[in-house]
Amino acid sequence: MISVLKCRVLLLGVVLGYAVFGERLSSAADVDYFTDNGLDNAVASIQYPSAEQFNGKTYIAYQGPHEDPYVCLYDHTKQVWQGPVKAGVSWLGLTPDPTDHKDIDNHGKPALFVDSKGYVHVVFGGHGGLPMLGENLYGTPGSGRQIHAVTKNPEDISSWEVLDNIDPFGTYDQIVKMGNGDIYLFYRHGSHRSDWVYQKSVDDGRTFAAPVSVIKHKPQQSDPNTHDAWYAWFCEGKDDTIIVQYIYHPCLIENHNKQRVNVYYMKLNCRDGSCENAAGTSLTLPVTKEAADRLTLVHNSGTTKVNHGICRVDETGTPHMFFRSSEGSVRYTRWLGNGWQKPTPVTVPESKGQDGDMVVESPMVIWLILKGSRVGGGTEVCWWKTTDGGLSWNRESTLIASPDKGYGLSALVRNPFVLGRSDSPLARGQFIVEEDDYASSAVYRKLRFWGGTGFVGRPEAEAQVVHRHIEAEKELKGKVPEETPYQRRRARAAANVGED
């Protein structure tokens, strides 16, 4: 069978224990994962993109051993993989790798972009930044150090160097690349009690302007024990704009907890740096809690805990979003022109712990890729679709499911490879899936690349790499190598400052 499909795919049959091959026959020695050295929560949507396609190659970044950033690439034309290659050294990791998940920080996962010349960049390693790094002008220090690394050569992941051109006090890196090539690096400028900011580059990431604060942290006037703190998710909108979904965290000085409430939305105009709400009323940056409540509220959750999801626009520039809710299923809503549609649960109530991403096909047709609880135990990753603007949802397909494994999803691949395929919404729905095997106490995880129609296969001998790392760790006999950055990385901020 000759297929126009340029990537080798293995369908979920492999996972179910029998081999069903995709459009192109894979070698019998292929597995449906591309590496087994993801470390713990190796990808997540709040650090993104995890992957971007450039010139027929998809570059994938994830958290590997010692919480360092690792990069693989898949060449769609040659149908071969490269990597994993270590792209830098994180200050958050420990040596040797912990065996207890609680000792893994997980906040400094890499976000990746490819610049216009093909150099691959990652930003990683921050959980607010250690106090020793200087004065944090936009918040409270934490741990680690936000670092920017770039390949020494274009379209070549074999060698990397650090570019010392961004603030060290960052976490939750999110990179928005505009149609004109401008790059916006968004992040929280420290631990909980910090502003969300961006740094802008107009020269392919070689230099970045100073941070611009967009969401403000501060103590509440009436209750100094409560500090306004936030979680935010940024995405390119239409006509040179960036849209933002954000969630409020009342950060208590005494009796700190993980409460997060309410959902907010606003839009940045990149032409002049101004900001407005969904109705077009202009906002002063940085937005305060008071202004956010008055002008940008999407959903008042009361005391129900919610968490960030994804926001994207349709062809008219109208925002659509989902957010996570402690009551179960994610909630979807969209802007109707004069208000937000009443948020609707996307799945049945027992399906908890959902997260994923969204493809907006048209104002009324929206696809969600979600991981969630599987009936009978375990986890599944499914496409959900609405054709009535989100009032009702149907499960369209199950990509992977297991009674004894957990799955985590990255955000969608930026600029996914669709050459030679019908450019359907699902062909563009590409992402990374991490697998947590409940039967294993190991902190290492297999990672899969969903290429739009199946998992992209790889020869087993290439995909199995973590055993070599484990052997190398044994040889260290627990000793931290001399003269390595690892020695600097034990310091942690107080738990209530930098916990998440």
Q: How far is the CB of 215 from Zn ion (least distance, A)?
A: 14
From the list 47-55, 243-251, 387-395, 430-438, the region that binds Zn ion by CB under 5 A is 243-251
Whether 108 and 127 have beta carbons less than 8 Å apart is answered as: yes
Q: Which two tokens stand for residue 62?
A: 């994830």
Asked if 251 is part of the footprint of Zn ion (rule: CB under 5 A), the reply reads yes
Residue among 8 and 192 whose Cβ is closer to Zn ion: 192
In the Cβ-directed half-sphere of 12, how many Cα atoms lie within 13 Å? 14
Residue among 212 and 252 whose Cβ is closer to Zn ion: 252
From the list 108-116, 245-253, 288-296, 486-494, the region that binds Zn ion by CB under 5 A is 245-253
Whether 449 and 430 have beta carbons less than 8 Å apart is answered as: yes
Query: C-alpha distances in angstroms, 372 versus 94, 125, 401, 443?
Result: 30, 28, 10, 21
Identify which of 207, 212, 155, 219 has the alpha carbon closest to the alpha carbon of residue 189: 212
Residue among 192 and 374 whose Cβ is closer to Zn ion: 192
- Phi, psi (deg, nearest 5) at residue 103: -90, 5
Residue among 127 and 200 whose Cβ is closer to Zn ion: 127
Residue among 240 and 499 whose Cβ is closer to Zn ion: 499
From the list 158-166, 244-252, 351-359, 466-474, the region that binds Zn ion by CB under 5 A is 244-252
**Residues in CB range of 498: below 8 A, 6 or more apart:** 127, 128, 142, 143, 191, 192, 492
Q: Which two tokens stand for residue 375?
A: 């009936």
Euclidean distance between CA atoms 87 and 426, whole angstroms:
30
Annotated catalytic residue, options 172, 231, 264, 407: 172
Q: How far is the CB of 411 from Zn ion (least distance, A)?
A: 24
Q: How far is the CB of 56 from Zn ion (least distance, A)?
A: 44
Q: How far is the CB of 261 from Zn ion (least distance, A)?
A: 13
- Tell me which of 127, 188, 192, 331 binds Zn ion, using CB under 5 A: 192
Q: How far is the CB of 499 from Zn ion (least distance, A)?
A: 7
Counting residues that bind Zn ion (by CB under 5 A) gives: 2
From the list 99-107, 176-184, 192-200, 315-323, the region that binds Zn ion by CB under 5 A is 192-200
Asked if 127 is part of the footprint of Zn ion (rule: CB under 5 A), the reply reads no
Q: How far is the CB of 403 from Zn ion (least distance, A)?
A: 35
107 is annotated as an active-site residue: yes
Site for Zn ion, residues 206 to 235, rule: CB under 5 A: none
Amino acid type, 210? A
The SS3 assignment for 443 reads: coil
Euclidean distance between CA atoms 318 and 338, whole angstroms:
12
- Phi, psi (deg, nearest 5) at residue 470: -65, -40
Residue among 197 and 426 whose Cβ is closer to Zn ion: 197
Q: How far is the CB of 464 from Zn ion (least distance, A)?
A: 40
Q: How far is the CB of 449 from Zn ion (least distance, A)?
A: 34
Whether 58 and 439 have beta carbons less than 8 Å apart is answered as: no
The residue whose two tokens read 């990597």 is 83
Residue among 6 and 192 whose Cβ is closer to Zn ion: 192
299 is annotated as an active-site residue: no
Residue among 231 and 335 whose Cβ is closer to Zn ion: 231
From the list 247-255, 304-312, 439-447, 485-493, the region that binds Zn ion by CB under 5 A is 247-255
The SS3 assignment for 495 reads: helix
Annotated catalytic residue, options 66, 76, 107, 217: 107
Nearest-CB residue for Zn ion: 251
Whether 128 and 194 have beta carbons less than 8 Å apart is answered as: yes
From the list 20-28, 188-196, 265-273, 313-321, the region that binds Zn ion by CB under 5 A is 188-196
Amino acid type, 425? P
Identify which of 307, 413, 324 has the alpha carbon closest to the alpha carbon of residue 371: 324
Euclidean distance between CA atoms 7 and 416, whole angstroms:
12
Binding stretches for Zn ion (CB under 5 A): 192, 251
Residues labelled as active-site residues? 107, 172
